[in-house]
Amino acid sequence: MLTSSFIKELTRSEGFETAGVARALAHSDGEAFREWAEAGMAGRMGYLTDYRAAIRMDPKNLLASARSILVVGKVYNAPRARGERPPEELAWISRYAWGDDYHIWMRQRLQRMVGRLLEVEPFDYRICVDTAPLLERSYAREAGLGWIGRNTCLISQGLGSWLFLGEVLTSLDLEADGPPPDRCGTCRRCIDACPTQALVEKDGRWQLDARLCISYFTIELHGAVPEEHRGDIGGNVFGCDICQDVCPWNRRAALTTEPAFQPRNAEPPLEAMAALTEPEFRAMFRETPVSRARYAGFMRNVALAMGNSGVGRFRAPLEALARSPMPLVAEHAVWALRQLAS
C-alpha cells in the first residue's frame, strides 16, 4: 500500500526538500571507508574506527529486516549577516551550526512521518540521523539526492551542498532510485581553497584527511591544535565552510525558510566570545551544534582566531585567556599573543 512516490510526497509535507530510496544492501564504498580509517585519516575520532566500523558495512546490521532506505535532505543554507563589523573581528561559525541542533529537528520530523505511515501499513524501521554507523552519503547518492563531490560533500544539482541528511531504514520493499552523474568535471576550487590541503587524492578518488581539517581541529579535537596549522584556522571558531563556500554549485544554492535553522549567534564578536564564562557559553549555545566543542575547546579556538586576526586591541582579552586555569586555553592564548607581536 505504501509506495515510493507516496512516501516522498509525505516527506515534502514534513519540510524536507528532497528525498529518494536506496536498496538496503552493503555498499561498495564500505571498502574505501575501511581503507580510509586504517590509513589513520579519522584522526582521534574513535567512533569511526571502533566496533561501529564493522556495523557501518551493512545497513542490515542496524535493522535485520531492512529492505529499503529512505534518504531525506533538509536545506539549512542561510545568508550571512556580517553587519557593520569588519570580518576579522568576528568569530566564524560553520553554517550548519547557526540554528538549532539538526539531530533533534530531523529525528522529530522523521518520527512523525513514520507515525503517519504506520497508520497505513505496519513495517519495521529505524531512524538514523548522522550519529548512526551508516554510510549515509553513499546511500544518499544511490537514492538520487546528489553526487559526492571532490570536497567529499553530497552535492545536489538543484539545491547545492548545504543539506542535512537523514535516513529511515525500513522493511518495506520500495522502488529504488538511481545515482545521478558526477558533475564536478575538472573543477578543483575546493581542493585549491583548503588552507590545510585536507583534501587528498588516492587511486583517483578524493578523500578528506580529518587530521588536516579545520572542522576536525575546532570541533572533534579536544587537545592542542598542531602548531603548524594554527595560523591556517583563521577566524574559524567552530567548523569550516571554505570547501563549500567556493563550490560553483552553491552560487545559487537554495535558502531555508525553516525557523529552526535561521541564523542566531552566527557571527558573534570575538571579544565578546573571549569574555564568556562557562555557564554563559552553555546558555548561549544550548541545543545548538556549537556545544559539541565544549567550553575549553571553544575558548581555545577563540584564542587562535584572535591571534590570526591581527587586531591589536585583542591583546588584553588574550592576556586574560593566557591566565586561564585551563592549560589548553592558556597555551593557545600565549601562542596568539606571539602572533600579534610579530
Q: Where are the alpha helices (H) located in the chain, listed in sequence order?
A: 4-13, 29-38, 52-55, 102-118, 136-142, 189-193, 214-215, 227-230, 242-245, 270-274, 278-284, 294-309, 315-322, 327-341
Indicate the pairing of strand 154-155 with strand 147-148. antiparallel
The C-alpha atoms of residue 126 and residue 62 are separated, in whole angstroms, by 8
Where does residue 223 rank: exposed (0-12), middle (13-18), buried (19+ CB within 10 A)? exposed
297, three cell numbers: 575547546
Q: Which of these is catalytic: 29, 124, 130, 182?
A: 130
The C-alpha atoms of residue 141 and residue 177 are separated, in whole angstroms, by 9
The partner residues of 236 in beta bridges, in order of sequence, read 92
The C-alpha atoms of residue 92 and residue 100 are separated, in whole angstroms, by 17
Dihedrals φ, ψ of 72, to 5°? -120, 155
141, three cell numbers: 547518492
The C-alpha atoms of residue 304 and residue 319 are separated, in whole angstroms, by 13
First-to-last C-alpha distance (Å) of the chain: 70
238, three cell numbers: 567552530
Residue 152 in contact with residue 118, Cβ under 8 Å? no
245 in catalytic set = no
Q: What is the dihedral of CA 221, 224, 226, 230, to 10 degrees?
A: 90
Nearest Cα neighbor of 234 from 275, 277, 196, 206 is 196
The C-alpha atoms of residue 73 and residue 95 are separated, in whole angstroms, by 16
Catalytic site positions: 130
